[in-house]
Amino acid sequence: MLAVMDVGNSNTVIGLYEGEDLRGHWRIVSEAHRTEDELRIFLHMFLHQEGLAAHDVTGCCISSVVPPLNRDVLAAARAAFGVEPIMVGPGLKTGLTIQVENPKEVGADRIVNAVAAVDAFPDVPLIVLDFGTATTFDAITANAEYRGGVIVPGIAISADALFEKCAKLPRVEISRPPNVIGRDTVTHIRSGLTYGYADLVDGLITRMAEEMGTPPTVVATGGLVEAVAGIARRIDHIDPYLTLKGLKALYRRNAKA
């Protein structure tokens, strides 16, 4: 059994793989003040929910973009599973050629997503999107060369900014209204957050594809991907478990080392 963990700015996603099958997955809030003991209790609860014990886990792979949590997450995984986790970072075998000014600046989650996308769609140029706290766009060539990308504020951040900075605007649920032209303030905001964001996505993909020179396959993942699913026209594939699959692939490439 393989445990994988992706520590994001808003949520930490945990998965358990039994061979190729994702046996279970959970999402908890990424709290900077959360302790090792709390995290260890969560992990034991998830194992118990699946009828598993700590000794059933034989490996663990973790990616994180929240450095303050790294020490406690690693310690909790060691204590809960009794294995030494593989942490995604410099020196790991990825199968990618990182062609950016400073490879160490590339978020671990973006590398993990790129690995999973290349495994799923080999030998084709790719644009990989991750709809999280921020929305990231990553360009990968047909030769598995990571060329760079784009970062924009996430949909939830945009919604929060409207509520916090505009005195008369309410906080709204992010959902797609039936029409672009709204007839009240709430649907005005929802239209902008969904249709407007989808057009932002399509526009950036179009510009990236022009610079790449070859039509790419576009793969999207992330907790907020459903907000634009079915609206954005340039997304070819949606995989909510792309990051977990990438962690599984990285573990297998690096476990022996």
Q: What is the CATH number of the domain that holds 19?
A: 3.30.420.40
What is the model's pLDDT at position 198? 96
Which residues neighbour 134 within 8 Å (Cβ) at sequence distance 6 or greater?
9, 151, 152, 153, 154, 157
In a domain, 254, yes or no: no
- Residues 197-206: pLDDT tens digits? 999 999 999 9
In a domain, 252, yes or no: no
What is the model's pLDDT at position 32? 81
What is the model's pLDDT at position 181? 96
Q: Which of 20-34, 161-175, 201-215 has the highest mean pLDDT?
A: 201-215
229: left (phi over 0), alpha (psi -120 to 50) or beta: beta
Tell me what the mean pLDDT of segment 17-27 comes to: 94
118 and 208 within one domain: yes
81 and 193 within one domain: no
Which residues neighbour 254 within 8 Å (Cβ) at sequence distance 6 or greater?
86, 92, 93
- Res 147 pLDDT > 80: yes
Q: Tokens 């080999």: give the residue.
A: 122
What is the model's pLDDT at position 64? 95
**Percentage above 70 pLDDT, the chain:** 100
Residue 7 belongs to what domain range?
A: 2-87
167 and 108 within one domain: yes
In a domain, 119, yes or no: yes
- Residues 215-243: pLDDT tens digits? 999 999 999 999 998 899 999 999 999 99
For residue 256, name the pLDDT band (cuts at 50, 70, 90): confident
In a domain, 75, yes or no: yes
In a domain, 221, yes or no: yes
Tell me what the mean pLDDT of segment 25-33 comes to: 90
What is the model's pLDDT at position 31? 87
Tell me what the mean pLDDT of segment 85-95 comes to: 93
**Average per-residue pLDDT in the chain?**
94
77 and 28 within one domain: yes
Three-state secondary structure string covering 56-70? HCCEEEEEECCHHHH
Q: So which residues are the catalytic ones?
A: 109
What is the model's pLDDT at position 74? 96
What is the model's pLDDT at position 215? 95
In a domain, 256, yes or no: no
- Residues 115-135: pLDDT tens digits? 999 999 999 999 999 999 999
* Spatial distance between the Cα atoms of 118 and 150, rounded to a whole number of angstroms: 18
131 and 61 within one domain: no
**Percentage above 90 pLDDT, the chain:** 88
- Res 79 pLDDT > 80: yes
241 and 118 within one domain: yes
Count of structural domains, the chain: 2
123 and 6 within one domain: no
Single residue among 38, 66, 87 that ends a domain in this structure: 87
219 and 106 within one domain: yes
Helices 242-254/108-120 angle, 10° precision: 90
What is the model's pLDDT at position 257? 58
Whether the CA torsion 59, 51, 79, 107 is positive or negative: it is positive
Single residue among 87, 122, 143 that ends a domain in this structure: 87
In a domain, 126, yes or no: yes
Single residue among 48, 65, 87 that ends a domain in this structure: 87
114 and 78 within one domain: no
139 and 215 within one domain: yes
For residue 195, name the pLDDT band (cuts at 50, 70, 90): very high
157 and 201 within one domain: yes
In a domain, 251, yes or no: no
191 and 141 within one domain: yes
